[in-house]
Amino acid sequence: MTGPGLYLHIPFCRSKCSYCAFNSVAAQRDTVDAYLDLLARQIEEYAALEWCGGRRFSTLFIGGGTPSLASPAKLAAIITLCRSRFSLADQAEISMEANPDTIGPELLTTLREAGLNRLSIGIQSFNNAILAGINRVHTAEQAIKAFHLARGCGLANINIDLIYGLPHQTMADWQEDLQQILALAPEHLALYELTIEPESPFGRLQAEKALVLPDEDLLADMEEATNTLLSPHYQRYEIANFCRPGRQCRHNINYWLNGSYLGLGAGAVSCLDGLRFTHESDPYRFMSAVEHKTTTIRQAECLSRTARFRESMIMGLRLIDGFNLRKLEKRLDISATEVYGPLLAELNSQGRLLRQGEMIRLAPDWLPVANQVLNTLV
Ligand code: SF4
């Protein structure tokens, strides 16, 4: 369905959101532009290596952080560089993440010309009080305007990220968010339940018992409302991802199917045929290493076939239709029984996993508590 993916990480944001534990720091545009100059050097370096640059990539994804914080011309130059140095498939999916306050006509037209064909907008909520409460720097009005601008610039493949389970969020708030989604009609949606990361500002507030979050019953109702409202219009194809027919995110499908990918930039992870390596995560140390031509790789490991099999199971079962277990066994030359013993048969007989021919998937009833099943397969 898709091939290796190329990922570029831009670890800068205008300011930090209260729930965020991603690899990003607050910075100004000058810093982001300087980083992109150094990232361009790393792109050149890896593209020249036959064992990774010699592959044909199906997707390019520029994520962060907030990539759209950079100058449009610098971002366009990075896309152009990737297209000229790496072999990208003719119909490659070229995506970038952007926040509403950084989306303008110049950014969109410049990137469209460079080949961008998918935009992922981090909106998170259409409620201004909730947005302020999580320290987002944009408003709902800016988000809606940004979406229409992107459409007006010819982007026919747009994703919106939303979060539910936010502090003080009510069922009515979430339903209004979903209605707004239906009115905008993006091609793709990523709807995440808020998770509290201990190292985020919310993690610290929670430790002090100073965070008011929706309870489990309300979260379950929100998930049910999501499926009820969206199912006539969107296909849920992954636990947290919905799309119009044929609009799955190809870059992420490759992750969920545990395919190969090359990640460049601070903290970016690569996994090429079982060799996994991770770049320096601190943006400034990363920049210094590139500048001084020293290695940016901080961790590398060769995954065993068993480890790859287990990871493939955990990722692949996130897909609603599951994946082809027989093909995985063939690809890694190891059987599910060698890895798990009788466990898969037990989960199957308990109705948690479903087997149909060569395919395996999570039973629909277990989707709301998917982690309970996936944790047994780690
Ligand atoms: S915009 Fe995204 S990456 Fe940046 S601080 Fe907010 S959640 Fe984190």
Q: Return the pLDDT at 33.
A: 98
CATH (domain of 65): 3.20.20.70
In order of 205, 259, 319, 352, 355, the CA distances from 361 in angstroms are 37, 18, 8, 9, 7
The CATH number for 349's domain is 1.10.10
What pLDDT, on a 0 to 100 scale, did the predictor assign at position 150? 98
User: CB atoms < 10 A from the CB of 177, how many?
Assistant: 26
Distance 7 CA to ligand 1 centre (A): 17
Statement to judge: residues 252 and 311 lie in one domain: no
**Which residues span the domain enclosing 324?**
306-377
Residue 264 lies in a domain: no
Residues 98 and 238 in one domain: yes
Mean pLDDT by 10 residues, the chain (378 residues): 89 97 96 98 96 93 98 98 96 98 98 98 98 97 98 98 97 98 98 95 94 94 96 98 98 97 98 96 98 98 98 98 97 97 96 97 94 95
In a domain, 268, yes or no: no
In a domain, 267, yes or no: no
Nearest CA to ligand 1 atom 7: 20
Pocket test for ligand 1, best of 18, 19, 24, 202 (most atoms within 8 A of CB): 24
Domain closes at, from 189, 224, 256: 256
Do 219 and 338 fall within a single domain?
A: no
What is the position in ligand 1's atom list of the atom closest to the CA of 13? 4
Q: Residues 169, 105: one domain?
A: yes
365 part of a folded domain: yes
3-state SS string over the chain? CCCCEEEEEECEECCCCCCCCCCCEECCHHHHHHHHHHHHHHHHHHHCCHHHHCCEEEEEEEEECCHHHCCHHHHHHHHHHHHHHCEEEEEEEEEEEECHHHCCHHHHHHHHHHCCCEEEEEEECCCHHHHHHCCCCCCHHHHHHHHHHHHHCCCCCEEEEEEECCCCCCHHHHHHHHHHHHHHCCCEEEEEECCCCCCCHHHHHHHCCCCCCCCHHHHHHHHHHHHHHHCCCCEEEECCEEECCCCCCHHHHHHHCCCCEEEECCCCEEEECCEEEEECCCHHHHHHHHHCCCCCEEEEEECCHHHHHHHHHHHHCCECCCEEHHHHHHHHCCCHHHHHCCHHHHHHHCCCEEEECCEEEECHHHHHHHHHHHHHHC
Same domain, 102 and 172: yes
Atom 2, ligand 1: which residue's CA is nearest?
Answer: 65
Measured distance CA(362)–CA(241) in Å, rounded: 15
Does residue 292 fall inside a structural domain?
no
Q: Are residues 186 and 328 in the same domain?
A: no
Residues 316 and 248 in one domain: no
Are residues 351 and 228 part of one domain? no
Residues 319 and 227 in one domain: no
Is there a single domain that holds both residue 71 and residue 160?
yes
Statement to judge: residues 51 and 155 lie in one domain: yes
CA of 329 to the centre of ligand 1 (A): 38
Position 217 in a domain: yes
Final residue before a domain boundary, out of 241, 256, 271: 256
In a domain, 208, yes or no: yes
Which pLDDT does position 1 carry in this prediction?
56
Number of domain units in the chain: 2
Q: Separation of 208 CA from ligand 1 center, angstroms?
A: 23
pLDDT at position 76 is 98
Shared domain for 245 and 314, answered yes or no, is no
